[in-house]
Amino acid sequence: MKDVLIPISSEIVSPKRLLKIYSQEADNIRDVQFEIPKIGSGSFGSFRVYYKMPILRSKRCLTGI
């Protein structure tokens, strides 16, 4: 397994993570939408953050394929 950096233009995050992202990358946020929680999930919902410029996130991938 190897970590590969993948550009993403949006991601779903928790309210706590949204506050952290907003404090660090407010100038790169294009839009934020509230994602309604699923019934019975015990969650308060999440947020989809859209970025102006894609950011890099690591993802584990199989090598040699």
Q: For position 52, what pLDDT does the model report?
A: 97
What's the rounded Cα separation, in Å, for the pair 14 and 56? 18
Long-range contacts of 30-35 (CB under 8 A, 24+ apart): none
> Where in the sequence is the domain holding 47, given as residue range(s)?
2-61
Q: How many domains does the chain have?
A: 1
Q: For position 64, what pLDDT does the model report?
A: 57
Contact 47, 34 (CB under 8 A): yes
Give tens-digit pLDDT for 8-62: 999 999 999 999 999 999 999 999 999 998 888 787 899 999 999 999 999 888 7
| Angle ∠(6,9,11) on CA atoms, nearest 5 | 90
What CATH number is associated with residue 39? 3.30.70
For residue 22 the two structure tokens come to 């907003």
Residue 26 phi/psi, 5-degree rounding, is -60, -35
Q: For position 40, what pLDDT does the model report?
A: 84
Is the predicted pLDDT of residue 65 greater than 60, yes or no? no
